[in-house]
Amino acid sequence: MRALIAGNWKMHGTSQALDEVRKLAAKAQDLACELLLCPPATLLERAVAASGGRLAIGGQDCHWERAGAFTGDISAAMLVDAGARAVILGHSERRQFHGESSTQVQNKARAGQEAGLMTIVCVGESEAERQAGQEKAVVGEQLAASLPPLSDPQNCAVAYEPVWAIGSGRTPTLEEIAAMHGFIREGLCRLLGPAGEAMRILYGGSVKPANAVEILATAEVGGALVGGASLKADDFLAIARAVTGKINQDAPTVR
Ligand code: PGA
């Protein structure tokens, strides 16, 4: 399995940012990892066109229903129609600012998987929860409640993103990352059986070119979810180049 390096542009990027997509697409085929870029929904179709099919493009959220009276929302089928191949779900900013529960995240992930999207399901503890020694309890609970039972390595990856590390420049120690990823791996195997063994577990939160090599070499780290450092193609590519080999044998590709 190849590592997955996913970029999350959040609410950044207008037409001008398509230059970065073109730069990424020009290099994406030379990488040892799979590269995925999730721009804002307004740029999806143009990013797909700009990528010329050489770079997978994804959404940042979707609704759990196929269609309906949900003003402002986007369905998984709409993402597929716009050319997306993946979708990020349950990002802590959605959980925090839009009050998304793990049950909603699970329903969204199911809808994404049914539509044929690779779903990236995010989990992670707050700083207060870590200080209280609750990080594993919180992440274990989010994982169990957010992952659809039919998740497998082809249609799902988990992103561990400690909330306090996002956009802060702070990261857990490599030991802390390894401990949490090992804990998530155990949880995946318990919840999903053999499908949980090969599922990629991405680390997210202040990943940048300067720390990517050591984070991506850490046990059970199957890739990264990158926010700020994905906005510039050069930085994002430097992170992607930190992946030098396969993390496992069977390579599911972002379809
Ligand atoms: P960051 O964001 O890389 O800017 O810390 C990561 C994320 O929120 O996915």
**CA Rg value for the chain:** 17
Q: Per residue in 86-97, is it b (16+ CB within 10 Å) or e — as a string?
A: bbbbbbbbbbee
Distances (CA, A) of 173 to 16, 193, 210, 227: 36, 29, 14, 19
Spell out the residues 6+ positions from residue 255 whose beta carbon is closer than 8 angstroms to its own: 85, 116, 118, 154
Q: Could you tell me if 181 and 160 are in contact, meaning their C-beta atoms sit under 8 angstroms apart?
A: yes
Which ligand 1 atom lies nearest to the CA of residue 10?
8
Q: Could you tell me if 18 and 231 are in contact, meaning their C-beta atoms sit under 8 angstroms apart?
A: no
CA 204 – ligand 1 centroid, Å: 6
CA 248 – ligand 1 centroid, Å: 25
Instruction: Give the mutation target among 87, 161, 235, 236 for probing the ligand 1 site: most ligand atoms within 8 A of CB.
Output: 161
pLDDT in single tens digits along all 255 residues of the chain: 899 999 999 999 999 999 999 999 999 999 999 999 999 999 999 999 999 999 999 999 999 999 999 999 999 999 999 999 999 999 999 999 999 999 999 999 999 999 999 999 999 999 999 999 999 999 999 999 999 999 999 999 999 999 999 999 999 999 999 999 999 999 999 999 999 999 999 999 999 999 999 999 999 999 999 999 999 999 999 999 999 876 643 444 453
Name all residues whose Cβ lies below 6 A of ligand 1.
8, 161, 166-167, 204-207, 225-229
Q: Which residues are catalytic?
A: 91, 161
**Which residue ranges form the domains of the chain, and what is each CATH number?**
4-240 (3.20.20.70)
Phi, psi of 144 (to 5 degrees): -60, -35
pLDDT of residue 72: 97
Q: Could you tell me if 126 and 78 are in contact, meaning their C-beta atoms sit under 8 angstroms apart?
A: no
